[in-house]
Every structure is written in C-alpha cells, then in structure tokens.
Amino acid sequence: MRIGELAARTGVPTRLLRYYEERGLLDPGRTANGYRDYAECLVDRVVQIRGLIDAGVPTRIIGRILPCLDDPRAIHVADADPEIIAALERHRDQLDARIRCLTRNRDAIGAYLDAVRGLPSADRVTAG
Amino acid sequence: MRIGELAARTGVPTRLLRYYEERGLLDPGRTANGYRDYAECLVDRVVQIRGLIDAGVPTRIIGRILPCLDDPRAIHVADADPEIIAALERHRDQLDARIRCLTRNRDAIGAYLDAVRGLPSADRVTAG
DNA sequence: TTGTACATTCACATTAGTGAGAAGGGAAGC
DNA sequence: GCTTCCCTTCTCACTAATGTGAATGTACAA
C-alpha cells in the first residue's frame, strides 16, 4: 500500500511515517515511480512503534529490538554475536524497570481514586 | 538538605534538579541565605520522577499525579473536582496502555533470547 | 584569602514531531 | 492533448521537551 493508506489505517501522519523511515524503523520498498510501497504487516509494526515511543523507548533502541520481535523463533545470523545478546538483555532489563515504575504509579493512582470515590461527597470536601 | 547532597544521593545532577523545580515537580524551601532546602522525603520523590520520565511520562503529567501519590489516603480538597478525577483516570489508563505495550515487548525479547540461547552455537549461525 | 557550593541566566544539544514549499505521478474529465 | 485534482516526492526550517554547559556572582568555611 502507499503511504497515504498506511497513514489512514494507523492514524500516523505521512510526515511521521517518513520520519520513522529516516530513523531506520521502517523500510518500505518503492514502486516504479518512486512511491513508497508498504507491506500489509507494517500496519501492526507502525502501531507497535507508536506504543514503544509513547512508552519512552527511544527510536535508536526500537530499531535494535524490532527485528527480533517480528518472529522470536526466526533467529538471525548476526544475533549469534554475544554483544547483541548482551544489548538485548540490557534492553529487556530496562523495559522491566520501566514496567515496574509505571505499575507502581498506576496502582498508586488507582488506590487514590478508590480512596476519593470511597468517601461520601460531604466527607470529600472536608477531608485533607 | 542542600542541592548538592540531594544530587549525590539520587545521582541526578544539580542542574537537572533545578530544571525539575522550574517544571513544577519540586518545591524546596529556601534557607536564609537563599539556598534551596530539600526535605528528606524528596530523595524518594526525585527517584520517582526519574522513573516516570524514563518511562515516557511528560513532566506536565507528572506534576499532576505526584501530589496524589505522596499518600493515597490523604485526600486533598481540590480533588473532589470531577474534572481532576477524570483526568487521573485518563492518566491511569494511559499508564495501563504503556504497561501492556512494554510488557508485550519485554516478553518478546525474552522469548527471542530464550530461542537464541536454546540453540547450540552451530545451529545458531546457520538458522534464520 | 582561597576554595567549594550555591545562585541565576543565556545558550546550546538532542530527540520527536510538524509546517510549508516546490516539483513530479497519475487518474478523471473536457 | 490538456487541465484539474490529489497524492506523492524531497528539503528546509521550525517547535517542544529534556537535558547540559558555561559565565558571572554570592555564601560560607577552612
């Protein structure tokens, strides 16, 4: 599909899709006239990229982990490199730390909301 | 404590601590001579701020949710406002979405690492 | 007095994202 | 063929957010 359709289907502006390509996150082919040509599976990938960026993962890192996530069972030759394995482990641990931090804060917000809603409104305006 | 000690204890440069203050995330008192004076509990808060920023939460949002997380049981008067409650629910849902996305990717990386390590090195370099 | 820590301020770097202009591709209709 | 219209190309420049560097001056203790 062309860039306009991908933009419509993902909600990501064409300008941004070109930006992600510049950052190495997408590599669409080209049709004879030079237009970008996106495979169907890139719809999911764009959504995944958005999610990771929203979650604070820099594009530099996303570019490194994305190739491994297409299909975890398809091992790439270069990945035998212990350096790459170590880097992936670091990325995984960083994601882990992020998840723990976000979970703690999400739960704290949840507890706070529960506390606020658990009070009758009369108490609510006088408490604190 | 003064800014230098807080920086030493959190690993966050003084410059950045002043920046967070400028963004409304910290509000230290001042001693008579104009030095910033940080309470003990701000050590934890700085660590929490760092975690949230690393996890992609903008300072604008952090400033809104932090006051509620000091002690979820201490309800503030202004929080009876349904708008604030709705905003907190949105933030919590966004955190939820981030957590799901990060978890998916962390697990995918984990599966990939397991697959790579599960192969004897001879297979590893030919697979893919 | 000298050195360290603190203050403020201006400027810069990087990353993510956007706006706008100029030009070409291609299909529909005259 | 030619116009019209939309989509595409690329490029330059710009914003906003996070974070640093450096200059200049003040507070205080050895």
> A residues 8-67 near B, CB within 8 Å?
48, 51-57, 65
Q: Which residues of A touch B96 (CB under 8 A)?
A: 106
Average pLDDT over residues A45-52: 96
In whole angstroms, C9 C1' to B3 CA is 18
Q: What is the mean pLDDT of residues A84-90?
A: 86
B56/A51 touch (CB, cutoff 8 Å), yes or no: no
Any B CB within 8 A of A110 CB: yes
Q: Average pLDDT over chain A, rounded to whole?
A: 86
Distance CA A65, CA A46 (A): 14
Task: Give the residue whose CA sits closest to C17 at C1'.
Answer: A16
Q: Name the residue facing A55 among B101, B116, B128 (closest C-beta).
A: B101
Q: Does residue B69 register a pLDDT over 90? A: no
Is B101's Cβ below 8 Å from some Cβ in A? Answer: yes
A11: amino acid identity, one letter: G
d(CA B67, CA B46): 13
CA distances from B97 to A20, A83, B85, B104, B120 (A): 21, 31, 18, 11, 37
Closest residue in chain B to residue A126, using alpha carbons only:
B77
Task: For residue A73, give the DSSP letter.
Answer: T
Q: Which CATH code, of 1.10.3720.10, 3.20.10.10, 3.40.50.2000, 1.10.1660.10, is assigned to B1-76? A: 1.10.1660.10
What does the pLDDT read at residue B126? 46
Interface test with B, best of A52, A98, A107, A123 (most B CBs within 10 A): A98
pLDDT confidence of residue A88: 87
Structural domain boundaries in chain B? 1-76, 81-128
d(CA B54, CA B58): 9
To the nearest whole Å, the CA of A76 is away from the closest chain B CA by 5
SS3 content of chain B, % helix, strand, coil (to 5): 70, 5, 30
Identify whether the C-beta of residue B101 lies closer than 8 Å to the C-beta of residue A51. Answer: yes
Give the largest Cα separation in chain A, rounded. Answer: 70
Q: How confident is the model at residue A112 (pLDDT cuts 50, 70, 90)?
A: confident
Digit-coded pLDDT (tens) for A59-84: 999 998 888 877 656 666 555 678 78
What is the reported pLDDT for A126? 46
Q: Which residue has the higher pLDDT, B83 or B61?
A: B61
- Return the H-helix or E-strand segment holding A30: strand A29-30
Q: What is the pTM of this model?
A: 0.86
